[in-house]
Amino acid sequence: MSLMKDLLERPFDQAITSKYTAMNGVIYLGIGTLVLVWPGMVQTIFRDAAFVGNEAALIRVMGMSVMVIGWLYLFSGLSGGRRIVAASVLDRVVLVPLVLVPLAFAGVFPHFLLAFAVLDPTLGIGAWLLLSRSDRPRLHSATGTPSL
């Protein structure tokens, strides 16, 4: 099947930024899977308040969302594009803390959300540093194709 062949294709020699993004994807896939399978980890590991209503289902949805983000980071990293690394920095450094920190301060699973509000921007800043230190492919002036 072509879809499976495309998914399992061996990546080319990747830049460090692509490897880092793919590694972040694996981390997010793992964390998301853990949260999806074991929503009680919010109380066990982060010592947040017990669920009162259907919060466990919402935590599972968060786990699934983190898994999807991990899946996309993994395969975006394997694709080798610099743009995905740059785009991921903005949402991780700005959007995630902007949403999660006020929720945590409002008492919504404060330890759990603050952990994500620290982890995600930290990994995003790591990507930003690697991106700023890596060589940008230069375009050949006559053809407009990348040259090294």
58-99 pLDDT, tens digit per residue, is 999 999 999 999 999 999 888 888 888 888 898 999 999 999
pTM confidence score? 0.83
Determine, yes or no, domain membership for 119. yes
Q: Which of 6-15, 19-28, 63-72 has the lowest mean pLDDT?
A: 6-15
- Residue 57's pLDDT is what? 96
Using alpha carbons only, give the angle 20, 23, 129 rounded to the nearest 5 degrees: 25
- Residue 82's pLDDT is what? 84
Determine, yes or no, domain membership for 6. no
Q: Based on the structure, what is the number of domains in the chain?
A: 1
Q: Which of 11-15, 37-41, 86-90 has the highest mean pLDDT?
A: 37-41
How many whole angstroms separate alpha carbon 117 and alpha carbon 95? 10
* Mean local confidence (pLDDT), 14-32: 93
Decide if pLDDT at 122 tops 90: yes
How many whole angstroms separate alpha carbon 71 and alpha carbon 58? 20
Determine, yes or no, domain membership for 4. no
Domain span including residue 63 = 16-131
Which run of H or E residues covers position 138?
strand 138-139
| Helical pair 110-133 and 82-90, crossing angle rounded to 10 deg | 140
